[in-house]
Amino acid sequence: MSKRIALIAHDQKKDDLISFAQDNKAILEKYELVATGTTGKRLIEETNLDVIRMASGPLGGDQQIGAQVTSGHLNAVIFLRDPLTAQPHEPDVSALLRVCDVHDIPLATNKSTAQLILLSFQQLK
């Protein structure tokens, strides 16, 4: 079964995630991709990748991704969060990071780690 990866970025990190996805398009298109609302919209428009969109993060999208982690439907979460800006939905952000640790799901919060996850998935396949 194809691996399923979540892609999420806070506003200040969305450009970074888009360029990461463009650079890794050949790898990412082998996986099922899920994203929060606005991140997913930009990914679809700017990279042409197939992405299943959840609600926007502040409207519960992080919780929807977290539920998929909990139910065993995600193999990795790439979440370029903004460490310099307070988020109105900080509890949701923390909860998502937490369930990844509870369920031992690979979690990247910066591009370098995200790259390592994709490279290791390529090696493992």
Ligand X SMILES: O=C(CO)COP(=O)(O)O
* Residue ranges that bind ligand X, judged by CB under 6 A: 8, 10, 36-39, 56-58, 61-62, 93
**∠ Cα 6 17 60 (to 5°):** 45
The answer to whether 36 is annotated as binding is yes
Using alpha carbons, list the distances in angstroms from residue 98 to 1, 66, 115, 124.
26, 9, 21, 25
Shortest distance in whole angstroms from residue 77 CB to ligand X:
11
15 catalytic, yes or no? Answer: no
Kindly report the number of other CB atoms within 10 A of residue 93's CB atom. 19
Residues annotated within a binding site for substrate: 10, 14, 36-39, 56-57, 89
Catalytic residues: 62
Residues annotated within a binding site: 10, 14, 36-39, 56-57, 89
